[in-house]
Amino acid sequence: MKRVLVLKAPGTNNEVETVEAVKMQNCFAEIVHISELLNKEKKLNDYHGLIIPGGFSYGDNIGAGKVLSFYIEKRLKEEFIKFIEKGKMILGICNGFQALIKSKILPEITEKQVATLTLNNCGHFVCKWVKLKVLKHPIFKNLPDEIELPVAHAEGRFVVEKNFKRNIDRYKILLYIENPNGSYKNIAGITNESKNVIGIMPHPERCLFPFQNPSSRYNGKIFPWGKIIFKNFVSLL
Active site residues: 94, 203, 205
Please report, as a single letter, which amino acid is at residue 219. Answer: N
What is the per-residue DSSP string for 37-63? HHTTSS-GGG-SEEEE--B-GGGGBTB
Contact 186, 167 (CB under 8 A): no
Task: Report which of 229, 182, 226, 228 is spatially closest to residue 205, judged by C-alpha positions.
Answer: 226
- CA pair distance 147, 131, nearest whole angstrom: 6
What is the per-residue DSSP string for 192-206? -TTS-EEEESS-GGG
